[in-house]
Structure 1
Amino acid sequence: MTNNHSNIAILKEIAELLNEETEMIPMLNGALSKFLSGTKFETGWIFFIDEKGKSELVVKQNLPDALSYNDCQHLKRGGCWCVSRFRNDELKKASNIIECQRIEGAIEANDGDHNDITHHATVPLQSGQERFGILNVASRNTVRFTDEELDLLESVAFQMGSAIKRIYLTNEQQEIALVQERNRLARDLHDSVNQLLFSVTLTARAGIEMTEQEELKETFKDIQQLTQEALTEMRALIWQLRPKGLESGLIEAIKVYAEMMNLQLSVNVAGVIQLPSRVEETLFRIAQEALNNVRKHSGVTQVQIFINITATDVLLVVKDAGQGFNVDAIDDIPSIGIQSIKDRSQAVGGTADWVSEIGKGTELLVRLPY
């Protein structure tokens, strides 16, 4: 391997990069690239592994054709000793992997040159008691790496783990700041615009009672009705900014919002709702937008919601028997609501699809992984 002086230089360069980067994947890509270019390790890949043991290939560098074939299908599928050891909390330090079923599977499939990559070393990525995933590295014609090489790998993994923790903490702080800003905006809307609209409603009601002229009465009635609709919209907006009902559970929050929209809602749930907070809020926001669309465009007040939770994803279906629309022209429909649902779904790796015909109602199907 390299001498101690060059090892220290590599670790220093990687530490500087890790401290400067603020985005997770570019940070890990840059650190792995520096590590490979400054050592005898030639290729590497990183799995993130969640609390349920689900692994995700997030970073890869210099993979041979056999491992990169078809979007790295051989690295993502089949048995894996290092991932299994990590899941069982048995992977404590940098280790040689004597047999890698995934590499062996790639070689046997003969889907490209494996560049004499037959074995790899692995190390957990962690910070204190928090574990994030594993870093794997390999070199041509190398079955075992030396203790010095494994020590260097462990040092880099320690640096990466600390940087991953820092970014998670930064994102958490940003999320807290976002919630605080939403709450401030909700308060401002309630204290200013909401109160102003309420005052206009009272003024219009007084105007109706004070005048005897029928035309003026009708004008005041129109003002009162429009202002009342604006009040409903404003309360819904405030609720979207600060969904207090979500604290009592997703289903209760959706029901309260539907009631606020004067919609008659039936909810059917299959499975146990134990979702990550980001997925739960995304689901709630999408349900809000879907209910808004029903209220504004369907021409009906009855709506059905179905939620089906499996081990890997959650399916949300929002169904009404309203006037429907032409799904083939969905990309041409200037609907902020539809685009918002698409964007929110895609932001968490999910999908959103509509089934609808003119006069035959609308069905929204949203699938989110978690």
Structure 2
Amino acid sequence: MSSNPLTEGSILKEIAELLNEGTEITQTLHEVLEKLLQVTGFQIGWIFLIDENGDQKNPKLTASHALPPALSANNCYRMKKKSCWCVNRYRKGELTKASNIIECQRIESALRENDPKNDGLTHHATVPLQAGNERFGILNVGSPNKTHFHKQELALLESIAYQIGTALKRIYLTQKEQDIALHTERTRLARDLHDSVNQLLFSLSLTARAGQEMTAQPEVKDTFQYIQDLSQEALSEMRTFIKQLRPPALENGLISSFINYAKVLDLHIHTKMSGIEPIDPQVEEALWRIGQEAMANCKKHSGQQDIFIEMNTEGSNIILSISDNGAGFFYDKDFEMPTMGLRSMQSRAEEIGGKFQLTSKVGMGTFIQISIPLLKEENQT
């Protein structure tokens, strides 16, 4: 590979241009790996993505190019082993820069088994994919009969890996923003349908029932009965549709929903739940939206990553408490809520007969408590 800085600059430029166009992780990594090998002259490469917040035991082979048959056989089974030298060092935080891998366990296993289809691959270079303090996985490259990587080659691989890490961070953040926007829009649409069409259908059903009671003519009674049956059927379908529009995480309950949303925001959530009865969908929806706004505020303003959520029942009320130990702010309860987000949370609670309480002091964190009657579904429209 040429040591001309201009050549290296043009390599980085080509990689950057390709990464800037990427919007889907797997496709982007496949394309950039092929480009990397093409412009650097290395012949073989593969990328492991490792979710540090998930199952570290299973690095995911996300992209590969020109793997020898000994490594690609049986659906790349050797590449899907849970550990190897580079993955173990990555897990321990010891893989911080591009390194020569002299003893690769995956390649060695093929050599020990005298697999003739190794195509001369005996060594590879490995470099972590990272952006700042965030890590995403490992980039490995090699060539047949190449047993050593020069400092300049490793430095170039580090620069390319940083570009890939930065692109991965951008894509992940974009996906998170899209998920949040989708959840918000689905919830808004479900709420609008409940407050408008759902209520109209319910009113139509009541009117048809009243019509039956006001007439003695059998034909008219049958007509009103038919209208009532149709409105009840439409109401049932509307409720099913509204349920489908609710954020998917709510299907597993509020606490699960909060935990999943905290992961989206990179918050460390601490939950406690006790004595919770089945919650009316309207109440659950309101608590979810309030909790969502509270967690977003914590992420933006508290300066802390820890958030504490507790749910329990007191008498006929369900209590949701959300707090953090962050920056806090000045708040006087004799005045209205200071931000639109807080006013929205208060409004959501009060719309279904609940109470919203806020306590916050500068430097002493923020505490929010919502108390809402346990509405019974049969009393709701």
Unaligned 5+ segments in structure 2 are 258-272, 282-381
CA distance in 1, matches of 2:97, 2:209: 74
Contact 2:59 2:82 in 1 (8 A): no
**1:166 maps to 2:166:** no
The alpha-carbon deviation at position 39 of structure 1 amounts to 1.6
Contact 1:78 1:101 in 2 (8 A): no
TM-score by length of 1: 0.65
Please show how residues 111-260 of structure 1 align to structure 2 within 5 Å: 111-243=115-247, 246-249=253-256
Please show how residues 63-82 of structure 1 align to structure 2 within 5 Å: 63-77=67-81, 79-82=83-86
Matching residue of 2:10: 9
The 3-state SS of whatever aligns with 2:216 is coil
Matching residue of 1:342: none
CA distance in 1, matches of 2:277, 2:22: 39
The alpha-carbon deviation at position 206 of structure 1 amounts to 1.6
The alpha-carbon deviation at position 107 of structure 1 amounts to 2.5
The 3-state SS of whatever aligns with 1:45 is strand
Matching residue of 1:48: 49
CA distance in 1, matches of 2:195, 2:82: 58
Matching residue of 1:25: 26
Contact 1:78 1:102 in 2 (8 A): no
CA distance in 2, matches of 1:230, 1:196: 11
1:26-55 per-position Cα deviation (integer Å, ceiling 9, x unaligned): 211121111111123211000011223121
TM-score by length of 2: 0.63
1:337-367 per-position Cα deviation (integer Å, ceiling 9, x unaligned): xxxxxxxxxxxxxxxxxxxxxxxxxxxxxxx
**1:102 maps to 2:106:** yes
CA distance in 1, matches of 2:212, 2:121: 85
The 3-state SS of whatever aligns with 1:142 is coil
Relative to 1, partners in 2 of residues 1:116 and 1:176: Cα closer, same or farther, differing over 3 Å?
same
CA distance in 1, matches of 2:208, 2:233: 14
1:209-256 per-position Cα deviation (integer Å, ceiling 9, x unaligned): 110012322332232233223223312321221256732447999965
Relative to 1, partners in 2 of residues 1:66 and 1:257: Cα closer, same or farther, differing over 3 Å?
farther
CA distance in 2, matches of 1:57, 1:87: 16
The 3-state SS of whatever aligns with 1:118 is coil
The alpha-carbon deviation at position 110 of structure 1 amounts to 4.1
CA distance in 1, matches of 2:72, 2:256: 43
The 3-state SS of whatever aligns with 2:125 is strand
Number of residue pairs aligned between Structure 1 and Structure 2:
260
The 3-state SS of whatever aligns with 2:40 is coil
Relative to 1, partners in 2 of residues 1:248 and 1:224: Cα closer, same or farther, differing over 3 Å?
farther
1:129-166 per-position Cα deviation (integer Å, ceiling 9, x unaligned): 11111001111222221111100000000000000011
Matching residue of 2:64: 60
Unaligned 5+ segments in structure 1 are 259-370
The alpha-carbon deviation at position 77 of structure 1 amounts to 2.1
Relative to 1, partners in 2 of residues 1:253 and 1:119: Cα closer, same or farther, differing over 3 Å?
farther
CA distance in 1, matches of 2:240, 2:77: 46
Contact 1:79 1:102 in 2 (8 A): no
The alpha-carbon deviation at position 112 of structure 1 amounts to 4.6
The alpha-carbon deviation at position 191 of structure 1 amounts to 3.1
Structure 1, 14-23 or 156-165: larger mean CA deviation:
14-23
CA distance in 2, matches of 1:164, 1:253: 40
Matching residue of 1:367: none
Matching residue of 2:294: none
1:185-212 per-position Cα deviation (integer Å, ceiling 9, x unaligned): 2133123321221121121012111100
CA distance in 2, matches of 1:257, 1:191: 15
Matching residue of 1:36: 37
CA distance in 1, matches of 2:165, 2:181: 24
Structure 1, 139-148 or 187-196: larger mean CA deviation:
187-196
Alignment identity in percent? 57
